[in-house]
Amino acid sequence: MACSHNNTIWFFILALFTVLISPVISSRVSSLMKLPVIVESRSSVDSYCESWRLAVETNNAVKCKVVPSKCVSYLETYYGKGQFDKDYNVVASYALAFAKTVKMGGDCKDAWVFDVDETLLSNLEYYKAHSYGAEPFNSKEFSEWVVQGTTPGYDASLKLYKDLKKLGFAIILLTGRDEAQMSITEKILKDAGYSGWVQLLLR
């Protein structure tokens, strides 16, 4: 009787071992034992990129030299689908609302300072060709782009510019462009609809 009981136990162990080494069963068991692969969803990437953009715009990403590669697609959508223009319209409307609260002195000393690139003029086409800033900035290539004179203006900034002039502000323009690019920069600004500034300061 004891021998029969032992035989039954060994048969059970042998059967279990056979099941475990079976290729089909073994593959199923091993798949259950694999650690899950973490794949970042599209929404989580976009969420990260929105946070990154906020950090850049508030000047908190001080060590950021290039756009994170995973945010290139996000920026393509941000600019291409019109969200940037909507954001700019809102910011410009707030700026104009503030300007209307300023008590003007009437002595031509009430000045408004505008940056040029990415404020009055858009270099989006240049950055499109360079992965929306995911490539390191090349000042030589950018200078070559500038002299082509194909930089358009922003609708929101042009409207703000004209409204500020009507309020009586003296307009001063400030840019990191080289002094040698004065003539082409003046031409581009005028072609985009800007005029009547008091001074254009270049590097």
In the chain the domains, ranked by start, together with CATH numbers, are: 42-81 (no CATH), 92-201 (3.40.50.1000)
Q: Is pLDDT at 183 greater than 90 in this prediction?
A: yes
pLDDT greater than 70 at residue 16: no
Q: What is the pLDDT of residues 64-118, one digit of tens each?
A: 889 999 999 999 999 999 999 999 999 999 999 999 999 998 887 899 999 999 9
- pLDDT tens sequence across 126-158: 999 999 999 999 999 999 999 999 999 999 999
Across the chain, mean pLDDT equals 84
pLDDT of residue 106: 82
Stretch 162-183: mean pLDDT: 96
Task: Tell me the two tokens of residue 110.
Answer: 């009430």
How does 172-184 read in b/e, with b if 16+ C-beta sit within 10 Å?
Answer: ebebebeeebeee
Interatomic CA distance for residues 42 and 143, integer angstroms = 35
| CA dist., res. 180 & res. 186, Å (int) | 11
CA pair distance 188, 120, nearest whole angstrom:
10
Helix %, strand %, coil % of the chain (to 5): 60, 10, 35
Average pLDDT over residues 37-62: 83
Residue 59 has pLDDT above 80, yes or no: yes
Q: What is the pLDDT of residue 107?
A: 83
Q: Model-level pTM?
A: 0.76
- Structural contact between residues 160 and 98, judged by C-beta atoms closer than 8 angstroms: no
> Distance (Å, rounded) from C-alpha 202 to C-alpha 121?
15
**pLDDT value for 108:** 78
